């Protein structure tokens, strides 16, 4: 029997409540000291782990201390500085161009509005949600990263494959006051339990609420004992 919208919304809120208890200190893992550094870290995090980004930015933020330093950066040198994050040519180009645009068009401040921040090179809606929420407390949606993408499907909260459509589905299920924290509780759960390759359904506090629970080899093996 297909789940009604009311039932799905009730289940989604139960999921969020449980994750809130399981991961009470969930927050962004990237290290930064201001909105601009957060923007740089977010661009670098594409197809790269937060741990590696933090290793790279620990040196990067000491070398490039102001927005002007980034705007004046030499592309080849900057590429070497961020090489370990992967896709370094595109990332270097976007960061330098964005620094110049923020300086010239936005008076040296990372914009606070969604429509404005989306005009910056290398910033799509997921990144915009992360930056706006963490830097300014401006919450206009839910950041759909790889963990949120994976878990929202496994948990049966959406049948979509497009991040923008997934975000819209989740925004309908979760109260707006929970949009910001939902991202990080789901991410922490994705890292700790519901991993991409080896989900631990046997340890998952959401098992009774998850239509995908008990489908993975590890759980089946344990259940037979």
From 138, 145, 161, select the one nearest 42 (Cα to Cα): 145
From 115, 152, 150, 110, select the one nearest 134 (Cα to Cα): 110
Is residue 126 flagged as an active site residue?
Answer: yes
User: Is residue 59 a contact partner of residue 37, using CB atoms and an 8 Å limit?
Assistant: no
User: What is the C-alpha separation between 133 and 129, in angstroms, rounded?
Assistant: 6
From the candidates 126, 169, 178, 188, which is the catalytic residue?
Answer: 126
From 130, 162, 128, 182, select the one nearest 17 (Cα to Cα): 182
- Strand (E) or helix (H) holding 146: helix 146-154
From the candidates 145, 169, 178, 188, which is the catalytic residue?
Answer: 145
User: What is the C-alpha separation between 120 and 33, in angstroms, rounded?
Assistant: 20
User: What is the C-alpha separation between 122 and 47, in angstroms, rounded?
Assistant: 13
Is residue 145 flagged as an active site residue?
Answer: yes
From 130, 167, 161, 102, select the one nearest 44 (Cα to Cα): 130
Which residues in 155-177 are b (16+ Cβ under 10 Å) and which e? bbbbebeebeebbebbeebbeee
From 161, 151, 169, select the one nearest 18 (Cα to Cα): 151
Active-site annotation, residues: 126, 145
């Amino acid at each position: 029997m297909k789940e009604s919208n009311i039932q799905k919304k009730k289940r989604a809120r139960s999921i969020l409540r449980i994750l809130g208890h399981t991961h009470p200190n969930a927050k962004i893992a990237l290290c930064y000291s201001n909105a601009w550094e957060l923007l740089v870290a977010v661009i670098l995090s594409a197809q790269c782990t937060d741990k590696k980004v933090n290793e790279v930015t620990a040196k990067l933020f000491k070398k490039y201390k102001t927005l002007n330093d980034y705007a004046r950066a030499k592309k080849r040198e900057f590429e070497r500085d961020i090489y370990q994050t992967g896709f370094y040519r595109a990332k270097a180009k976007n960061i330098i161009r964005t620094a110049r645009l923020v300086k010239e068009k936005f008076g040296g401040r990372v914009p606070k509005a969604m429509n404005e921040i989306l005009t910056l090179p290398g910033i799509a809606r997921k990144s915009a949600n992360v930056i706006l929420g963490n830097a300014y407390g401006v919450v206009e949606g839910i950041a759909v990263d790889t963990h949120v993408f994976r878990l929202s499907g496994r948990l049966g909260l959406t049948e979509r494959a497009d991040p923008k459509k997934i975000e819209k589905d989740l925004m309908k299920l979760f109260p707006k006051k929970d949009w910001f924290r939902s991202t990080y509780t789901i991410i922490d759960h994705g890292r700790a339990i519901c991993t991409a390759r080896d989900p631990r359904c046997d340890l998952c506090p959401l098992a009774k609420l998850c239509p995908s629970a008990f489908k993975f080899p590890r759980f089946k093996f344990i259940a037979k004992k």
